[in-house]
Amino acid sequence: MNIDFTYENPTRIHFGKTALDHLSEELSNYGKNVLLVYGKASIKKIGLYDEVISILKKAGKNVVELEGIKPNPTYNQVVEGARLVREQHTDLILAVGGGSVIDCAKAISAAAYCSGDPWVRYWGNMEYVDNEVVPIGAILTMTGTGSEMNSGSVITNEDKMLKIGRVFPMHNLAPRFAILNPEYTYTVPKYQMVSGIFDIFSHLMEQYFSGDDDCVSDYLLEGDMLALINATRAALKDPRDYEARSNIAWCSTTALCKLLAVSKEQDWMVHMIEHQLGAYTDCAHGIGLAIISVPYYKHIYSYGLHRFVRFAKTIWHVDPTGKTDEEIALEGIECLSNFIAEMGIPQHLRDVGATEEMLPKIAKSTIKCGSYYICDTPGVLQILKEAF
């Protein structure tokens, strides 16, 4: 553990089939006015909307709704939510849905009482949030982002063609509580299920492929990856396998609650490229990550060869006999590619709405970062061309 760190996580998790039973006790900690934020009609189809509304009414809450949050939540939706918070004097923002809904709730909370232009201050300049914020609660219906137990928020500014993620202060913009019942994820279509699963896997790899110090975090990351692979294969056979779906849900939460990242430099370049892909195509986040990951890791593996060899042997059980380190590392990346195909994820950017004309724009607007190696714009463009 060669990097000093401070760890903090204020979110209280209620996990399991009876998790919603805890909503009433959580609501008792907040005032009367609740902004209920959710996506499309899915929470109504599964009956969760009616259950939540009933609990809110029994608790004596005044409820205002903001529905229709997109899979890539937009800044215009943030602005609308911030307006409602100010007008209704909101005491709690309750996000019901997947990570996009929770991300949007965090952004609304940060922006509502911001002095100045929230986009410029909090997504452009990445300033510290120094204004009043509104507490957030979450009820999860789709796993993937881990947003239920962290302070990250990814927002798309459609006018500027930018999709930017940032991490807000944990102590005031991580959800105060989160309700995770894996049964709520059963009705998510397979395409969205595997998108969320690869988002989880990518979170783990972004943290894993950094440093060679053999720290505790590396072993925890490997454990999460192995658990996720096993649970994914079970869920592909039976999407209503509670054990599998609960393990996927907890892998998602633990993957990005910061615990696995301590003492890690981290990479995040795959996410940066996909964010701009999402800004131009509205591609499902995890699907874009899967398509970009293989060409990206083939581009940078030689700079972190030791870690890619470990990944191949530990995660994919590659037999190293008679092989060079380079051959082992590349075989591990090929195993990753096979796992993506096993989930039925598209293999090419052209399959998710990207065009050749978009690629230079995506490459130019991508925020450059990395651990073992930092790609420049021509490097990002080459990766996109290989993914296309």
Read off the pLDDT of residues 300-328 as tens digits, 9 standing for 90 and up. Answer: 999 999 999 999 999 999 999 999 999 99
Same domain for 80 and 165, yes or no, is yes
Q: Is residue 57 part of a domain?
A: yes
What is the average pLDDT across 353-361?
96
| Residue 1 in domain | no
In a domain, 5, yes or no: no
Q: Give Cβ neighbours of residue 142 (< 8 Å, ≥ 6 apart).
A: 97, 98, 99, 185, 188, 192, 196
Contacts of residue 333, Cβ cutoff 8 Å, sequence gap at least 6? 294, 297, 298, 301, 308, 312
Mean pLDDT of the chain: 95
232 shares a domain with 176: no
Residue 6 in domain: no
Question: Has residue 80 been placed in a domain?
Answer: yes
* Coil vs helix vs strand at 74: strand
Grade residue 1 by pLDDT with cuts at 50, 70 and 90: low
C-alpha dist (Å) from residue 176 to 36, 113, 288, 328: 15, 19, 30, 44
Please give the share of the chain, as a percent, with pLDDT higher than 90. 92
CATH of the domain at 265: 1.20.1090.10
What residues contact 169, with CB distance under 8 A and at least 6 apart? Answer: 128, 129, 151
- Classify residue 4: in a domain, yes or no: no
Q: What is the pLDDT of residues 8-37, one digit of tens each?
A: 899 999 999 999 999 999 999 999 999 999
Domain boundary among 185, 215, 232: 185
Confidence of residue 41 (pLDDT cuts 50, 70, 90): confident
Full 3-state SS string of 109-169: HHHHCCCCCHHHHHHHCCCCCCCCCCCEEEEECCCCCCHHHCCEEEEEECCCCEEEEEECC
Domain ends where: 185, 207, 231? Answer: 185
Instruction: Tell me, yes or no, whether 2 lies in a domain.
Output: no
Q: Are residues 205 and 161 in the same domain?
A: no
User: What are the tens digits of pLDDT across the range 237-287?
Assistant: 999 999 999 999 999 999 999 999 988 889 999 999 999 999 999 899 999
Check whether residue 240 and residue 308 sit in a common domain. Answer: yes
* Residue pLDDT, tens place only, 49-76: 999 999 999 999 999 999 999 988 999 9
382 and 275 within one domain: yes
- pLDDT tens, position by position, 152-198: 999 999 999 999 999 998 888 999 999 999 999 998 999 999 999 99
Q: Residue 219 sits in which domain range?
A: 190-387
Residue 77, pLDDT above cutoff 80: yes
pTM of the model: 0.94
Q: What are the angstrom distances between the C-alpha of 6 and each of 9, 192, 262, 277?
A: 10, 34, 8, 33
Total number of domains constituting the chain: 2
- What CATH number does residue 108 fall under? 3.40.50.1970
> In DSSP terms, which residues pair with 166 in a beta bridge?
153
Q: For residues 270 and 336, what is the distance between their CA atoms, to the nearest angstrom?
A: 14
Looking at the structure, tell me whether residues 267 and 134 fall in a common domain: no
Same domain, 166 and 198: no
> Based on the domain organization, do 131 and 94 belong to the same domain?
yes
Q: Do 170 and 292 have their domain in common?
A: no
The answer to whether residue 313 is domain-embedded is: yes
* Domain end position, chosen among 142, 168, 185: 185
Whether 40 and 179 map to the same domain: the answer is: yes
Same domain, 286 and 369: yes
In the numeric block, which tokens belong to residue 343? 């989930």
- 226 with 317, same domain: the answer is yes
